[in-house]
Amino acid sequence: MKVIITEKPSVARDIAEVLKITGKKSGYIEGRGCAVTWAFGHLVTLLEPGEYSPELRQWRLDSLPFIPDEFKLKLIENPGVAEQFETIRKLCTEAEEIVCATDAGREGELIFRYILSLSGCEEKPIRRLWLSSLTPEAIQEAFKDLKDGHTYDNLYAAAKCRSESDWIVGLNATRFFTVRHGRLSAGDDRVLWSIGRVQTPVLAMIVQRDDEIHQFRPQPFWELTTKYRDVVFKFTGDRFDKAESAQELLTKITGQPFKITGVTGKQKKEQPPQLFDLTTLQREVNKSDGLSAADTLAAAQNLYESKLVTYPRTDSRYLSEDMKPRIPKILEQLKAVRPEQIEPLDLQKLPFTNRIVDNKKVTDHHAIIPTGITPRTLGPHEQIVYDAVTTQFIAAFYPLCVKKITTVDGESAEVKFQAKGTQIIKPGWSALFPKKNAKRKDDDSDEEQALPEFKKGETGEHTPTVREGKTKPPKYFNENSLLGAMEAAGKWVEDDTLREALKERGIGTPATRAAIIETLLRRNYIRREKKQIRATDMGRCLIALIQDPLLKSPEMTGEWEEQLKKIERGEAEAAAFMAGIHEYTRSLIESSTARKLDTDEWGNCPYCGKKIIKGKTAYGCSGWKEGCAFVLEPEYKGLHLTPNQIQVLLQMHFLPYSVTLENQPRMLIFSKQGFIMDIDLPSADRQQSGKPNPRPAKKTKN
């Protein structure tokens, strides 16, 4: 008997239908010498420390770091899992061959191999089904091309390394920071500080952006413009940092004629948009319709399981060469829903440019495209995502958008000005995006203003003005920009090799980035404020606690992803990678434990970095003569901070124990902006089996 294991029941039903297997049993479908069964996503996980040794149920510093000699597996604790796993185990035990039909990627491979391992069936012959779509045609073709399962051993090795590494670093760091810095009182109540290889660098990016905004001091500037024939012309020089300088030129040109000195025009050709990968789809839908990354992924997954789009958890924006013959048929089928948009295309001569088809840029899966199947009634989120994928797919084959960019030069009293305007000559693909074009017309961009016909040498009256403005800080992250920062995390890393690794992978994967954001929200480390994403005081506190820069930087993720990719390709050994993880974890605990106060110093100024000195009534920066205004008074809300507390606050940016203000446990943090934040700590239950069980934090008071 051949056993086929899928990741979800719905996929099992689809495969059984294509293979004409109809005998429904409890937990599987049987017929024609096959049994199709299913997991519920992850059925199997790694053991907790307390399951290796009862002593490890208590969270203590002297038990860290804990790294198992050999990782062991167990079933996840969810209803129905044990019964379904027993069904799978019995089927695998009786099977002559087992087919892996889980999602075609690193995590899908891990799900299958963990099930195989816990079932005791690792020696059975295995085959691999690689699916990018759940249409009947795609399933039939994939079954004709089944691979030897051991062809994907390197993929499993990389997945296993990722799983065990996350466990080692996350568990040890979480236990260390919770025990060392999470105590609320003399008892066992604690705040659970959750650390993660991916979530912590993302939180650090958000905190850093918030810091940049808080530290930003707007600088005034003055701009000189003039209006001639209802067109705004800008002064070609730099903006003025003094009002007097701008006023001087304004006086010079007031009452003087304005002359057109040159008119130039050039055509600009804009390429059609590329196909979507998951991250660009999430960003686009968040920007256009406000859907969160998690909602977009859920909708795309529903569309995939409904056979309407291809596999969504992809990091590629390209198609492979073997897809080319299928594309005309898909577009022909889409005429049922988009007849007017597809009509201009010659389906027999589609322009398959290297922006659409490139085998080298297709890894596990190709770009997200519609399958051509006509949708029935869709939910609101599914409709938005389906429309976005379909429009992007059609637009990729449309002609270029041709624009004419006109630049007009002018002057008054030898003071030079310039105006720009854009005219669409051939809309091409942009005709499919009327909403975007409408937004551009509403923008204040000077390049978008409509220009009348100007002639060189013409003169006339004009109206010059000086506008006062202020420089603006960076914008807070929203989901769109945060996903972009996670995808392009190399910008945050100095090392060239690591930046190149992150260029391809970024922080997290397309499949996990939405979950990372939701995890940080759920743990109250970040919050949504309208469309903005900001760090909470709890999140800022955690980043202040962590002194190891690697734990807060995309650099570690870059190192890991670089090595994991090499393991996937068979260019690096899993054992060597894991040895490095073990060493890093030991050094993390040792260096964090060894960090002590310098009792002979007060600390460094958070403003300028110079030494802090003690005055008669307060502590201040030694650079006060150079204008640094930092001062810290020891009295705070009726609490007198001791010299030792001042040292901790200034040197370590936090107090590793709580104080009680207004009958509420709180933690004091000294932020980079030079002020004290006192944070409501969540009222925690007593530890049970040594494991913290914190409640959500109360609203923060700053």
Per the listing, tokens 């760091």 go with: 173
Q: Where are any strands of DSSP class E within 427-517? A: 459-460, 463-470, 477-478
Residue 16 tokens read as 């059984």
User: CB within 8 A of 600, min separation 6: which ones?
Assistant: none
Model confidence pTM above 0.85: no
User: Quick one: pLDDT at residue 594?
Assistant: 60
Query: Could you tell me which of 489, 428, 441, 122 has the C-alpha nearest to residue 271?
Result: 428
> Which H/E stretch holds residue 409?
strand 401-412
Alpha helical stretches, state H, 506-611: 513-522, 537-545, 549-552, 554-568, 574-594
Q: How many CB atoms sit inside 10 A of residue 422's CB?
A: 17
Closest CA to 203 of 438, 541, 506: 541
The label of the residue with tokens 């050709």 reads: 269
* Cβ contact 514:294 at 8 Å: yes
Q: What pLDDT, on a 0 to 100 scale, did the predictor assign at position 636?
A: 67
Q: What is the DSSP letter of 691?
A: B
Q: What is the CATH number of domain 220-271+401-470?
A: 2.70.20.10
Query: Which overall architecture, per CATH, does domain 278-395 show?
Result: Orthogonal Bundle (1.10)
Q: Are 184 and 667 in contact (CB under 8 A)?
A: no
Q: Residue 487 in contact with residue 235, Cβ under 8 Å?
A: no
Mean pLDDT by 10 residues, the chain (702 residues): 94 95 96 95 94 93 94 93 96 97 90 97 96 90 94 96 93 90 54 88 90 86 96 95 95 96 95 95 94 95 94 91 93 96 95 94 89 95 98 97 95 96 93 73 60 95 96 94 82 59 67 90 93 89 82 77 87 95 91 66 77 88 84 75 74 48 53 49 35 34 32
Count other Cβ atoms within 10 Å, centred on residue 692.
23
Collapse the DSSP code of 611 into the 3-class scheme (helix H, G, I; strand E, B; otherwise coil) and give the result: strand
Q: How big is the chain, counted in residues?
A: 702
> Which tokens is 269 given?
């050709």
Instruction: Take residue 679 and report the two structure tokens written for it.
Output: 């944070």
Q: Could you tell me if 684 and 693 are in contact, meaning their C-beta atoms sit under 8 angstroms apart?
A: yes
From CA 311, how far away is CA 296, in angstroms rounded? 13
* DSSP letter for each residue of 19-85: TT--EEETTEEEETTEEEEE--S--EEEPPHHHH-GGGGS--GGG-S---SS--EEE-S-TTHHHHH
Active-site annotation, residues:
311
Q: Tell me the β-bridge partners of 37.
A: 5, 28
Q: Residue 385 CB: number of other CB atoms within 10 A?
A: 32
β-pair type (34-38, 2-6): parallel
Cα separation of 125 and 130, whole Å?
Answer: 17
| One-letter amino acid of 313 | R
Q: How far does CA 125 lie from the centroid of its chain?
A: 38
pLDDT value, residue 378: 96
Dihedral sign computed on CA atoms, order 206, 208, 212, 215: positive
The confidence score (pLDDT) of residue 597 equals 59
**Strands, E, within 229-273: which ranges?**
231-235, 258-270
**How many degrees, rounded to 5, is the angle at CA 489 between CA 487 and CA 491?**
130
Cα three-residue angle 420-426-427, rounded to 5 degrees: 90
State residue 700's pLDDT score: 34
Return the CATH number of the domain spanning residue range 166-215+475-594. 1.10.460.10
The secondary structure of 563-584, three-state, reads HHHHHHCCCCCHHHHHHHHHHH
What number of other Cβ atoms are within 10 A of residue 600's Cβ? 6
Distances (CA, A) of 253 to 247, 352, 407, 409: 10, 55, 21, 16
The CATH number of 2-145 is 3.40.50.140
Distances in Å between the Cα of 43 and the Cα atoms of 13, 75, 160 are 19, 6, 15
Residue 233's SS3 state is strand
* C-beta separation of 124 from 95 below 8 A: yes
Which H or E element spans position 368? none
Position 653 scores a pLDDT of 53
Cβ burial 87-123 (10 Å sphere, 16+ → b, else e): bbbbbbeebeebbbbbbbbbbbbbbbbbbbebbebee
Going by C-alpha positions, the residue among 136, 197, 193 that lies closest to residue 11 is 136
Give the span between the Cα atoms of 91 and 85, in whole angstroms: 10
Write out 158-202 in H/E/C secondary structure. HHHHHHHHHHHHHHHHHHHHHHHHCECCCCCCECCCCCCCCHHHH
Domain residue ranges in the chain: 2-145, 166-215+475-594, 220-271+401-470, 278-395
